[in-house]
Amino acid sequence: MSGSNARSNAIRAITSYKPDLAPLNYADTKPTEIYGSNVFSDKVMKERLPRIVYKSLRKTIEQGVQLDPSLADIVASTMKDWAIEKGATHFTHVFYPLTGHSAEKHDGFLSPDGNGGVITEFSGKMLSQGEADGSSFPSGGLRSTFEARGYTAWDVTSPAYLMENSSGIVLCIPTAFLSWTGVALDRKTPLLRSNQALNKQASRILKLFGKKTSLPIISYSGLEQEFFLIDRNFVFGRPDLLTAGRTLFGAKPAKGQEFEDQYYGVMPRRVMSCITEAERELYKLGVPVRTHHNEVAPSQYEIAPVFETANLAIDHNQLMMTVLKKVAKRHGLHCLLHEKPFSGINGSGKHLNYSIGNAEVGTLFEPGETPHENAMFLVFLVAAIRGLHKYGGLLRATVAAASNDHRLGANEAPPAIMSMFLGDQLTDILEQFRVGQVRGSKGKRLMNVGVDTLPPLPADPGDRNRTSPFAFTGNRFEFRALGSSMPASASQTALNTIMSDSLDYAATRLEKLSGGDPEKLHAAVGKLIQEIVEEHSAVIFNGDGYSEIWHQEAERRGLPNYRTTPEALMVYTSPDVVDLYSRYNVLSRQELKARQEIYIEQYCKTIRAEANLVIRMGRTIIYPAGLRFQQELLRACLDMRALNREPDTVLLDDIDDTLRKLREGLEHLENNVDMKIEDPVQEAHHKCTVVIPAMNAIRTLADHLETIVPEDLWPLPSYQEMLFVK
């Protein structure tokens, strides 16, 4: 099929599209019945498990107490019966290797009984621990030192669930993935470790303030997910979208997003049914999806659940990405989770709303009603300021990937400089502490307060800032630099760990300053705030994060600006990060080094694959299209000459010139893409500074061709079609 045929076929398929799925019916089956119906939830456990087993399991879930292994058999057999009743035939440990995807290996419940029949089998051991061949997953040099075998260990805090596929139902058990010597090979293990560190340090602060709780302090995460939905037919005509998840070519459409008529607009019907069906699937899995809306770019959407404990929210986000992709297909759509599928059009992010606390104490980033509560709030707030100032580079590193480099700093997503938006009122109050004269809250009546009677704080900072990577939004921080396709675990782990470090520092300092005397606590808090603001306020910035002035100002303030992934990834093994992660037992030097190696390798692989695709598409699709037009123009010139008329050759010259440069560009890229470079860091640098610019140069030429080659000769679906034909 020639390219232009593929295009017109795609458009015909879309315009004659008829949904073959009946609309969802919530009248017969209520959403409340569907919600969590595929989860081995607290309710199911309570109903089915013997009381004593249930209680013990709850204790493990809530307090992180180790599960009595003798109970695992009972839990497993109950879980199996429940799953089989619901139609499951297989089970799997789901784990989260460093590839960024989740991994599964399905195992049947059936075992031969020796008499030609079968029995179902699922023991406590099969539930709690599985063996996974670690050698098929990236381990960044850990494999040579350790055994290739890895094992998966049940994460009791994330409930098991049933995944429905067209071919059957599988019981899925979320797990951590480790080597036999206990080295973390996944994204979940460090997150769980960082939660423990956070609990320990945050509890010290609560204790100082006399705040009692029977539950551990945990971190929460509310993850807003952006994505694109375009018609599937276009994707088959775009090898770049199909394999790289983004367009490597494509001229800007005549109409882009400049009218801002898409944001919060009415969703097209097909998109609406796709998203509501995805939500229904997510309801079944107990994912508390709450909002959906049109995003800024054409064909871009967002879906967001209610926040949950971080570990669960992050597992649920992985499920959300899987479900969106799967359900989109059923509606003839393709879900693009890539950070920048269309150049020149807004990319997609994933906002991580971060807070800490528990069901008893609420969120600790929430200003309180009394001066005493506010004092505690301010301690948590300045701890975050100190943490971001000291370890902003680490947070930046957790969002480093080839795909996110197209977004960060491109005037739509926050810049690569990590700064904090606090709003004017809080900034003003902190400044009052710094100069040692606390008067009160700006815009409110002035209060005569010393450092030991703190001013009432604004419950809502009021102003909103969308250009800051890390914004305080009243009772949480919103981290906006995460890419849409990325698991949120590494960022959440970093946030937990830098908070642990700062709370540790604050607790030790307050203990020293107050000498353990509660009467002296408020004065100590005043001093602590003063010190931290004095030393770390450079990280606070309430202005426009997109502006050039900020880039200069940030540099003057000494804030790191890692513009590209290879630069940012170096932070993982910097002495202060190694020290930080080792002190709180989150990741050892060796584990950090392994991660760095894996991410560098992934970066190189991504760029290499994209560059090869550019070469292939350039040679077999784009160059030939230009050549065809060149032939038409030549024929027209010859015809003119035959009639003794002087042809206008301006366009022909342009085509000649562009095609020649295109051919040269492709040769240059080909010479560079596979250049042997031994050191992976050097290779990443080369990819970043030589290969990417070479790809971009080719793209510019190709996109120019697209604007002059006749429509019927152009083989690739255009931006116009992909983004606006729905």
Question: Does the footprint of ligand ADP cover residue 475 (CB under 6 A)?
Answer: yes
Question: Does the footprint of ligand ADP cover residue 224 (CB under 6 A)?
Answer: yes
89 binds, among Mg ion, ligand ADP, none (CB under 5 to 8 A by kind): none
477 binds, among ligand ADP, Mg ion, none (CB under 5 to 8 A by kind): none
Give 284 or 351: the residue with its C-beta nearer to Mg ion.
Answer: 351
Give 93 or 350: the residue with its C-beta nearer to ligand ADP.
Answer: 350
Burial class for 410, CB neighbours closer than 10 Å (0-12, 13-18, 19+): middle
545 binds, among Mg ion, ligand ADP, none (CB under 5 to 8 A by kind): none
Q: Any bridge partners for residue 120, and if so which?
A: 110
What x-and-dash track marks residues 72-111 binding ligand ADP by CB under 6 A? Answer: ----------------------------------------
Give 353 or 404: the residue with its C-beta nearer to Mg ion.
Answer: 353
Residue numbers 307-366 binding Mg ion by CB under 5 A: 351
Classify residue 718 by its DSSP letter. P
Give 351 or 686: the residue with its C-beta nearer to Mg ion.
Answer: 351
Question: Does the footprint of ligand ADP cover residue 383 (CB under 6 A)?
Answer: no
Question: Does the footprint of ligand ADP cover residue 591 (CB under 6 A)?
Answer: no
> Nearest approach, Cβ of 485 to ligand ADP (angstroms)?
18
**What secondary structure does DSSP assign to 242-259, as a single string?**
HHHSS-S--PPPSS-STT
Span interacting with ligand ADP, options 65-73, 298-306, 449-457, 562-570, rule CB under 6 A: 298-306
Residue numbers 431-470 binding ligand ADP by CB under 6 A: none
Span interacting with ligand ADP, options 38-46, 220-228, 322-330, 498-506, rule CB under 6 A: 220-228
109 binds, among ligand ADP, Mg ion, none (CB under 5 to 8 A by kind): none
Residues with Cβ within 8 Å of residue 24, at least 6 apart in sequence: 273, 276, 277, 280
Question: Does the footprint of ligand ADP cover residue 282 (CB under 6 A)?
Answer: no
Q: Which of 326, 370, 391, 25 shows the shortest CA–CA distance to 164?
A: 326
Question: Which helix (DSSP H) or strand (DSSP E) does residue 282 occupy?
Answer: helix 269-284
Q: Exactly one of 291, 508, 547, 682 binds ligand ADP (CB under 6 A); which one? A: 291
Q: Exactly one of 220, 380, 479, 603 binds ligand ADP (CB under 6 A); which one? A: 220
Give 313 or 524: the residue with its C-beta nearer to Mg ion.
Answer: 313
Give 89 or 475: the residue with its C-beta nearer to ligand ADP.
Answer: 475
306 binds, among Mg ion, ligand ADP, none (CB under 5 to 8 A by kind): ligand ADP
CA angle 543, 546, 549 (to 5 degrees): 70
- Residue 17: Cβ within 10 Å count: 15
Question: Does the footprint of ligand ADP cover residue 353 (CB under 6 A)?
Answer: yes
291 binds, among ligand ADP, Mg ion, none (CB under 5 to 8 A by kind): ligand ADP
Counting residues that bind ligand ADP (by CB under 6 A) gives: 13
Span interacting with ligand ADP, options 152-160, 208-216, 217-225, 387-395, rule CB under 6 A: 217-225
Q: Which of 724, 674, 710, 669 shows the shortest CA–CA distance to 692?
A: 669
> Nearest approach, Cβ of 163 to Mg ion (angstroms)?
28
Q: Which of 328, 388, 378, 349 shows the shortest CA–CA distance to 559?
A: 388
552 binds, among Mg ion, ligand ADP, none (CB under 5 to 8 A by kind): none
**What secondary structure does DSSP assign to 506-546, as a single string?**
HHHHHHHHHTT-GGGHHHHHHHHHHHHHHHHGGGB--S-TT
Residue numbers 476-495 binding Mg ion by CB under 5 A: none
Q: Using DSSP bridges, classify how beta strands 168-179 and 88-95 pair: parallel, antiparallel or unpaired.
A: parallel
Give 349 or 626: the residue with its C-beta nearer to Mg ion.
Answer: 349
> Nearest approach, Cβ of 299 to Mg ion (angstroms)?
20
Q: Which residue's C-beta sits nearest to ligand ADP?
A: 222
> Nearest approach, Cβ of 689 to ligand ADP (angstroms)?
36
Cα separation of 618 and 286, whole Å? 46
Cα separation of 141 and 591, whole Å? 9
- Do 362 and 263 contact (CB within 8 A), yes or no? no
- 3-state SS class at 237: coil
Give 29 or 291: the residue with its C-beta nearer to ligand ADP.
Answer: 291
- 3-state SS class at 360: coil
Cα separation of 565 and 12, whole Å? 41
Q: Exactly one of 134, 150, 190, 222 binds ligand ADP (CB under 6 A); which one? A: 222
307 binds, among ligand ADP, Mg ion, none (CB under 5 to 8 A by kind): ligand ADP
Question: Does the footprint of Mg ion cover residue 390 (CB under 5 A)?
Answer: no
Any alpha helices (H) in 64-112, and if so which ranges?
69-85
Enter the tokens of residue 489.
Answer: 């675990």
Cα separation of 466 and 546, whole Å? 10
Burial code of 97-107, b = ≥16 C-beta within 10 A, e = fewer?
bbebebbbbeb
- Residue 554: Cβ within 10 Å count: 21
- Do 539 and 385 contact (CB within 8 A), yes or no? yes
Residues with Cβ within 8 Å of residue 613, at least 6 apart in sequence: 239, 240, 243, 244, 248
222 binds, among Mg ion, ligand ADP, none (CB under 5 to 8 A by kind): ligand ADP
126-133's contacts with Cβ under 8 Å and 24+ in sequence apart are: 126/76, 126/91, 127/72, 127/75, 127/76, 127/79, 127/154, 127/173, 128/67, 128/69, 128/72, 128/76, 128/153, 128/154, 129/153, 129/154, 130/93, 130/105, 130/175, 132/93, 132/95, 132/103, 132/105, 132/177
257 binds, among Mg ion, ligand ADP, none (CB under 5 to 8 A by kind): none
What x-and-dash track marks residues 476-515 binding ligand ADP by CB under 6 A? Answer: x---------------------------------------
Question: Does the footprint of ligand ADP cover residue 552 (CB under 6 A)?
Answer: no
- Do 296 and 263 contact (CB within 8 A), yes or no? yes
Give 308 or 721: the residue with its C-beta nearer to ligand ADP.
Answer: 308
Cα separation of 529 and 527, whole Å? 5
Question: Does the footprint of ligand ADP cover residue 306 (CB under 6 A)?
Answer: yes
Q: Exactly one of 318, 355, 467, 491 binds ligand ADP (CB under 6 A); which one? A: 355
Q: Which residue has the tokens 């906006």?
A: 480
CA angle 502, 197, 375 (to 5 degrees): 40
Give 243 or 363: the residue with its C-beta nearer to ligand ADP.
Answer: 363
Enter the tokens of residue 36.
Answer: 């969590």
Give 351 or 389: the residue with its C-beta nearer to Mg ion.
Answer: 351
Question: Does the footprint of ligand ADP cover residue 339 (CB under 6 A)?
Answer: no
Span interacting with ligand ADP, options 138-146, 299-307, 424-432, 541-549, rule CB under 6 A: 299-307
Cα separation of 398 and 565, whole Å? 10
Cα separation of 611 and 619, whole Å? 12
Question: Does the footprint of ligand ADP cover residue 363 (CB under 6 A)?
Answer: yes
> Nearest approach, Cβ of 105 to ligand ADP (angstroms)?
31
Span interacting with ligand ADP, options 66-74, 300-308, 445-453, 573-581, rule CB under 6 A: 300-308
> Nearest approach, Cβ of 294 to ligand ADP (angstroms)?
13
- Do 196 and 319 contact (CB within 8 A), yes or no? no
Q: Which parts of this chain interact with ligand ADP (CB under 6 A)?
A: 220, 222, 224, 291, 304-307, 353, 355, 363, 475-476
Q: Which residues bind Mg ion (CB under 5 A)?
A: 351
